[in-house]
Structure 1
Amino acid sequence: MMVCLTIVSKKGTNPILRQAQMTKSKTAALTAFLFAVLAAMGGASVLKGGLYIGKHEGDTLHLMQIVFRMADGQTPHLDFMTPIGALAFWPIAMLVKSGFGIGMAVIWSQVFAALIFLPVVVWLAWSRLTPWLGALFGLFVMVLLLALVHGEAQRSVSISMHYNRLAWAAAFVAIVAALIPPTNQDGRGRSSIDGIIIGAMICVMLMIKMTYFVSFAVPIVVALLMTGQRRALLYAVLTGVAVAGTITVFAGFEYWISYAQDLLAVAGSEVRSAPGEPLTAVMGAPAYLGGSIAAIVGVIFLRQAQVAAGGLVLLLLIPGFFYVTYQNFGNDPQWLLLLAVLLLALRDQAADVVNGWGWNLRDGIMVVAAVALALTAPSFFNLAYSPYRHFNIDVSEYAPILPRGGVHTDLQSLDLRVNRVDARIALDGNVAGLPAYPDRDEPLVFMGETLPICTVELGLPMVMAAMVRDLEDAGLADGKSLFAADVFSSHWLFGALEPMDQGAPWYYGGLPGIEDADYLLVPLCPVDQKIQHQILGAIKERGDAISVTEIRRTELYILYQLG
């Protein structure tokens, strides 16, 4: 194949940029277009008056825990364990602290983020892209910031993994700024602004999800060097140092140590080190192979068309594209949107060359970009019109996730998913005529109690609320904290309990926070029975270091006193 792609004809080898600098009128038109997108998507979300999700209640409880703890003055990594950076939740927490309900705080935080990104996107489009490509790039960034679903093609509204969309938007901006050099150079002023933007976007990635920083920092630096933007690189480094220094002044050096410890703990965890398909599948499974081939062909075409910097940097970006997708739940390759923008921008640097197959490489690059857009279209359109689906839902079918949450009842889910409780239980071996399946995991025995084989499928908020009400009625809740033998210890959201110091809003391994807990709560029908087995196994291994005494038993849980 490489032989066939050998260049045999050159109609023009001068790799000049064909992008024309935007006129003031076109820049104003672009600004108006992007503001219209922001107003339409953000307005549809805000005017609903609340956030109504259709799935991922557990993830939503995880978000609530972190937001409420931060609004109460706690710091991620220092006061509780999470691998997600503080910036993913800080805007929401500040709005909650100022009096917003959490549902509207989520929505307004996205609108404010889009308002901050808008002038940055216009600046990059004005300095680097043609008007139409600038509009396409800006549309992609605005949609990522303002959507009400994480991606894929499933239409249900979900705020789960909202931080992935924000990190992708920052990555799009930083990579375009680094790889596509400005077409209207005007000296130091331009370089300083470009560098500050790139440095700020890298910091956004670092402070949201380390995966993005690790995957894209090196290609961004290489891109800046290869495109001659050394002064911009200097300003980017200075911006990063300034941001890191400011955080250190306020949070202390211990913040970075704790952040690293949380990341290492999750990386080594058997529970959540990778939340979806294996890496090989993300690269080569049927759903992803087309995008992988498009990226590789794009690199080949760029190199053959004498776009040396673009081809090399895109090649360096591809492993990061795969790794970030592998690390994100749903494994949605949203990098295909960026691939299309980069190919269309770099096409204007390409020599007018025909390869051994008789293909004009500039046309070939455009075809690959079109393929990338076609492959990602279902996910993109799902993102783009999610606020309008949200706006048109019938709120009578929804119920608050926190029924006693006061102003925070503006975050709701389908009544079916909140109040109807369904579970998956084992029938074989328990019902006449159904012999026991020989390879089923053995039931767990803890403190002499054989726990049933059962997992909650639906109605998690109702189950937690019922447990907390029972604890309150028994006089066991006020000011107490509990460690739940399950993936979530979210019970304190539903009543008079307190969160554990150093606890983990999402269980990743070990026994984080158990030293601060008053109780161990063992749900008889947990969300994840394997995690329950892991937690109780870890408690058994600690032996006499953790003393447990049963103090209450219901049909939903067994409660043990710790210490």
Structure 2
Amino acid sequence: MTKSNTIVVTSFLFAVLAAMGGAAVLKGGLYIGRHEGDTMHLMQIVFRMADGQVPHLDFMTPIGALAFWPIAVLVKAGMGIGMAVLWSQVIMAVLFSPAIIWLARTRLSPVLGAMFGLFVLVLLLALVHGESQRSISMSMHYNRLAWAAAFIAIVTALIPPKTGRGTVDGVIVGAMICVMVMIKMTYFVSFAAPILLALFLTGQKRAIVVGLITGLVIAGAITLFTGLEFWFAYAQDLLTVAGSEVRSAPGEKLSAVMGAPAYIGGSLAVVAGVIFLRQAGVETGGLVLLLLIPGFFYVTYQNFGNDPQWLLLLAVLLLALREDVGEIVNGWGWNMRDALGAVAVAALALTAPSFFNLAYSPFRHMNVVEADYAPIMSRGGIHRDLQGLDLRVNRVDARVALDGVVAGLEPYENRDEQPTFMGETIPNCTVELGLPIIFEAMVRDLEDAGLADGRSLFAADLFSSHWLFGDLEPMENGAPWYYGGLPGIEDADYLLVPLCPVAQDLQALILTAFEEREVPIEATEIRRTELYILYELG
């Protein structure tokens, strides 16, 4: 790419960054439309990190520290968490920009470089995780960041540079692989081997050496600050979740992610891309793309919503690899250059609803009506800049069973068994709206009864987020999101059993695990309301 073209592409990318980032931060707060539970999960981790705690060592989570660290740094500096989330995305986009521009200049045509940069920046700056549901949500924001890192590393490895000796390329690959490790290990496990093989097959041996050195330096720096035990604790959290019956996979089955109606088009497109690359004589590209397919499927399977963001990358790779394809015709008489272009267009068409949802989410966010929203934490002070739809924050809806309760409705035989604890059966009920106000009501009641006062509690539910809402403390070694077992129970002063939990099946698992614990903990009921039963642990 010539110098003038580089300037044009760079200007375009910074215009995208300014438009999307500006639209987000100029709103003055973060206004989400759904996933309040996921948001409270993010808040728990950010506040704990801002307080000096280290993920995996001080609390359990399978998500890497880098997913939350930029937000925590800004919160620690005095920023409200809503604005901290928005500004952290802008900062990460700025930090990623030199690598994006380098790849566009050294490997891609001006149009393709601009398109690739647009895709990566949209992933970094969006205010929704994908799909076609338009509500603003910061749920799984880390998946977008990890996809952006994977896009950059894969393009660096598979598309050899037209200029340069590989030093910068190695630094980029090493850094991006470390980003994947420190955000979500699934991406590293899925893509590290194909990236290394692509570097070798494309002759980027210097980049391999520099990449390994870069990775070791970054890992060494992390170890210096956190200690060697950090890595063991991280591995233990990952193994716990991988073996958990609760959250090992959050969506469709793997076979569905490959072949269900919503995904079969993308699966056929990537397989066609591999075939056409091989027929076009681009054997390295075809082989590496083939090896990337299991990772594409597995990461999509592991991500809630099962959104195949890799289709954007597929289009870029096919368009880049076809540039050196001549007038080659396969056995059916198809021009391979045209065939690769057609598959790339098909991939873009398949992912268009998700991409455009990502791309204009900051502009939707800028135009939300603030009067329709309420703070997630009404007593949050500066953190009241994180708000949710009023009807989802303050309106409480629950799902209850009518069969077996209402006259004339016989009990449904295959309904999940109701939780029991200490000889008592918990009513069949799950909360669907109003999580923040329910948590706040429980905590206010505890405070009024003189039972808060810096104590910690283990909630028999998906979340133990109550400490966000008042005078409680988080449990040492607790889990912001329940993945199994009883993490943090040794530090808890109370066991709180919601009478209408978020997930009653998980409540049943927790209560069973508590009663069957090898080292029993005495639980004495000390308070009962219409919302919860509280047991003191001794």
After TM superposition, the score normalised by the length of structure 1 is 0.95
Q: Find out whether 1:403 has 2:378 as its counterpart.
A: yes
Q: Find out whether 1:284 has 2:263 as its counterpart.
A: no
Give, as a single letter, the amino acid of the residue that structure 1 aligns with 2:90.
Answer: V
Match of 1:38 among 3, 12, 17: 17
Give, as a single letter, the amino acid of the residue that structure 2 aligns with 1:557.
Answer: Y
Give, as a single letter, the amino acid of the residue that structure 2 aligns with 1:37.
Answer: V
Q: Find out whether 1:259 has 2:234 as its counterpart.
A: yes
- 1:443, distance to aligned residue in structure 2 (A): 2.3
- 1:234 aligned partner: 209
The 5-angstrom pairing of residues 229-378 of structure 1 reads 229-378=204-353
- 1:16 aligned partner: none
Structure 1 residue matching 2:255: 3-state secondary structure? helix
Give, as a single letter, the amino acid of the residue that structure 2 aligns with 1:491.
Answer: H
- 2:34 aligned partner: 55
Give, as a single letter, the amino acid of the residue that structure 2 aligns with 1:79.
Answer: D
Structure 1 residue matching 2:413: 3-state secondary structure? coil
- 1:350, distance to aligned residue in structure 2 (A): 2.2
Aligned partners of 2:325 and 2:285: how far apart in 1?
Answer: 10
Aligned partners of 1:293 and 1:74: how far apart in 2?
Answer: 45
Contact kept, 8 Å, 2:416 with 2:505, in 1: the verdict is no
- 1:544, distance to aligned residue in structure 2 (A): 6.0
Aligned partners of 1:384 and 1:474: how far apart in 2?
Answer: 48
- 1:169, distance to aligned residue in structure 2 (A): 0.3
Structure 2 residue matching 1:352: 3-state secondary structure? coil
Structure 2 residue matching 1:355: 3-state secondary structure? coil
Q: Find out whether 1:181 has 2:160 as its counterpart.
A: yes
Q: Find out whether 1:479 has 2:458 as its counterpart.
A: no
Contact kept, 8 Å, 1:100 with 1:407, in 2: the verdict is yes
Match of 1:447 among 422, 433, 447: 422
- 1:373, distance to aligned residue in structure 2 (A): 0.3
Q: 4+ runs of 1 displaced by more than 4 Å?
A: none
- 1:5 aligned partner: none
- 1:357, distance to aligned residue in structure 2 (A): 1.1
Aligned partners of 2:120 and 2:302: how far apart in 1?
Answer: 21
Q: Find out whether 1:136 has 2:111 as its counterpart.
A: no
- 1:434, distance to aligned residue in structure 2 (A): 1.2
Aligned partners of 1:164 and 1:441: how far apart in 2?
Answer: 32
- 1:442, distance to aligned residue in structure 2 (A): 2.9
Which digits, 9 at most, give the CA deviation of each residue in 1:89-140, with x for residues without a partner?
Answer: 0000000000000000000000001111111111100000000000000000
Give, as a single letter, the amino acid of the residue that structure 2 aligns with 1:151.
Answer: G
The 5-angstrom pairing of residues 97-246 of structure 1 reads 97-184=76-163, 186-187=164-165, 191-246=166-221
Aligned partners of 1:233 and 1:61: how far apart in 2?
Answer: 40
- 2:60 aligned partner: 81
Which digits, 9 at most, give the CA deviation of each residue in 1:393-439, with x for residues without a partner?
Answer: 10000000000000000000000000000000011111111111122
Aligned partners of 2:381 and 2:287: how far apart in 1?
Answer: 54
Which digits, 9 at most, give the CA deviation of each residue in 1:505-563, with x for residues without a partner?
Answer: 00000000000000000000000000000000001101662110000000000000001
Structure 2 residue matching 1:478: 3-state secondary structure? coil
Contact kept, 8 Å, 1:302 with 1:350, in 2: the verdict is no
Structure 2 residue matching 1:555: 3-state secondary structure? coil
Aligned partners of 2:142 and 2:462: how far apart in 1?
Answer: 20
Aligned partners of 1:256 and 1:543: how far apart in 2?
Answer: 28
Aligned CA RMSD, in angstroms, stands at: 0.7
Aligned partners of 1:429 and 1:90: how far apart in 2?
Answer: 49
Aligned partners of 1:270 and 1:314: how far apart in 2?
Answer: 32
Aligned partners of 1:95 and 1:270: how far apart in 2?
Answer: 35
Give, as a single letter, the amino acid of the residue that structure 1 aligns with 2:141.
Answer: H
Aligned partners of 1:165 and 1:171: how far apart in 2?
Answer: 10
The 5-angstrom pairing of residues 459-538 of structure 1 reads 459-538=434-513
Contact kept, 8 Å, 1:344 with 1:366, in 2: the verdict is yes
Structure 1 residue matching 2:432: 3-state secondary structure? strand
Aligned partners of 1:555 and 1:542: how far apart in 2?
Answer: 28
- The sequence identity of aligned pairs, in percent, is 75
Give, as a single letter, the amino acid of the residue that structure 2 aligns with 1:118.
Answer: S
Give, as a single letter, the amino acid of the residue that structure 2 aligns with 1:262.
Answer: D
Contact kept, 8 Å, 1:83 with 1:209, in 2: the verdict is yes
Contact kept, 8 Å, 2:461 with 2:503, in 1: the verdict is yes
Q: Find out whether 1:65 has 2:44 as its counterpart.
A: yes
The 5-angstrom pairing of residues 541-556 of structure 1 reads 541-542=516-517, 545-556=520-531
Give, as a single letter, the amino acid of the residue that structure 1 aligns with 2:236.
Answer: Q
Give, as a single letter, the amino acid of the residue that structure 2 aligns with 1:202.
Answer: I
Aligned partners of 1:143 and 1:505: how far apart in 2?
Answer: 28
After TM superposition, the score normalised by the length of structure 2 is 0.99
Contact kept, 8 Å, 1:306 with 1:351, in 2: the verdict is no
Contact kept, 8 Å, 2:123 with 2:147, in 1: the verdict is yes
Contact kept, 8 Å, 2:160 with 2:202, in 1: the verdict is yes
Structure 1 residue matching 2:182: 3-state secondary structure? helix
Give, as a single letter, the amino acid of the residue that structure 2 aligns with 1:486.
Answer: D
Give, as a single letter, the amino acid of the residue that structure 1 aligns with 2:214.
Answer: T
Structure 2 residue matching 1:456: 3-state secondary structure? strand
- 1:448, distance to aligned residue in structure 2 (A): 2.1
Contact kept, 8 Å, 2:420 with 2:511, in 1: the verdict is no
Instruction: Point out where structure 2 has 5 or more consecutive residues left out of the alignment.
Output: none
Instruction: Point out where structure 1 has 5 or more consecutive residues left out of the alignment.
Output: 1-21
Give, as a single letter, the amino acid of the residue that structure 1 aligns with 2:54.
Answer: T
Aligned partners of 2:526 and 2:366: how far apart in 1?
Answer: 47
- 1:349, distance to aligned residue in structure 2 (A): 2.5
User: Relative to structure 2, which stretch is displaced further, 464-473 or 343-352?
Assistant: 343-352
Which digits, 9 at most, give the CA deviation of each residue in 1:248-272, with x for residues without a partner?
Answer: 1111110000000000000000010
Q: Find out whether 1:539 has 2:514 as its counterpart.
A: yes
Give, as a single letter, the amino acid of the residue that structure 1 aligns with 2:322.
Answer: R
Give, as a single letter, the amino acid of the residue that structure 2 aligns with 1:510.
Answer: G
Which digits, 9 at most, give the CA deviation of each residue in 1:377-403, with x for residues without a partner?
Answer: 000000000001000010000000000
Contact kept, 8 Å, 2:116 with 2:316, in 1: the verdict is yes
